[in-house]
Amino acid sequence: MKILVDRFIKYVKIDTQSDASSNTTPSTEKQWNLALELVDELKRIGLHEVSIDNNSYVMATLPSNIDKKVPTIGFISHFDTTPDFSGTDVNPQIIENYNGKDIVLNAEKNIVLSPDYFEDLLQYKGQTLITTDGTTLLGADDKAGIAEIITAMEYLILHPEIKHGEIKIAFTPDEEIGRGAHKFDVEKFGAKWAYTMDGSQIGELEYENFNAAGAKVKIAGKSVHPGYAKGKMVNAISIASAFLELLPPEETPQNTENKEGFFHVHHIQGGIESAEFELIVRDHDRDNFENRKALLKNITEKLNELYGNCITLELNDQYYNMSEKIKPVFFIVDIAKEAMETLNIKPIIKPIRGGTDGSQLSFMGLPCPNIFAGGHNFHGKYEYVPVQSMVGAVGVIVKICELTAAKPWKYEPSRKS
């Protein structure tokens, strides 16, 4: 446990925020700092074929220690943290034997992590928690996953009596800005399937996620003196407001759950002469997803007819529901489920209300369900991770490797199966 905690704390203290405005990969130079540290550590613990490419994708291999042929599997996590909250000077706090009460993260700023607001805390009474100091995020998303994967590989190396096939691992940049899989070399990785260790609470096992698109709406207005504006002024702000009013008001993140989709406006700016806003479109059902995009196009056409072709819509798909690619090889979910149950961890199989590198990788030919890494309240100062959940994740990784090797494989499943 100490090795795992020390490893995690070392990682979170290295600032790795990504930057969506950058066109490079990785999007920030500081991501290299952790990537290169991981390369050194993988070599140090004895993994083979350790590599880092020009875009900072880290890969390594744990060779098989059995004679029979079994499928090569993989485990993947990302090392960047969200650009939306500070990841600089992370100062983790360790709360041993959590008593189920408020945790004062920062007395000076009166920042408190309370079970009155974050009810999940009560699940971990008596356990050891790692929290922030109230001024930054923690980075359990997804440095917990990295620490768990490396610790599991080290455990397998130190325990050769546990039989396993060839295991591939990879750590990626820029997942938080939706680019984590963009330059991932699936062929080089060489696994038949993999698991992203990027979920939240212990037991999570996910193979469904949103279909996703991003949209930018730009409006060109015309400014004239308001006293003489009749028939002449085109107020871009008013048109933006009219556009947003035509979206279903109940279909927003704060009003939806489970597999319900939404429109989410996350940036808006402008004046009379120009305005623009950005939104994301999400839905688990592919037909509903296409209908949502069609609605944006119809609103644009309607308002352009009304106001004189002053609106442009940029609409781009981002990723799709990986269940399309997972269901034909559902045994890979069953193996993860069996691993959890063997370790007395109750599987929580539910759809992801978001995205994951696993989605893009699945459509690139690497089926990739998502498994818990243990953290809660990602992307903010209230983020925390129970140490026992991280230990559980290490156990699940090891058990998946062991179970996969023990199966009576008669053939190696094709990525296209």
Known catalytic residues are: 80, 175
What are the distances in angstroms from CA 79 to CA 38, 140, 210?
Answer: 10, 10, 22
**Distance (Å, whole) CA 313 – CA 175:** 26
For residue 277, the cross-strand partners are 217, 268
Yes or no: say if 352 and 196 are a contact pair by the CB < 8 Å rule. Answer: no
Yes or no: say if 355 and 209 are a contact pair by the CB < 8 Å rule. Answer: yes
Q: Which of 309, 318, 317, 316 is nearest to 218 (CA)?
A: 309
**Distance (Å, whole) CA 83 – CA 85:** 6
Listing DSSP states for 284-306 in one string gives SSHHHHHHHHHHHHHHHHHHHHH
Helix axis angle, 2-12 relative to 31-45, nearest 10°? 150
SS3 31: helix
Tokens encoding 34: 């952790």
Residue for token digits 């408020």? 102
Yes or no: say if 404 and 71 are a contact pair by the CB < 8 Å rule. Answer: yes
Looking only at the bridges linking them, the beta strands covering 384-386 and 58-62 are: unpaired
For residue 195, the cross-strand partners are 75
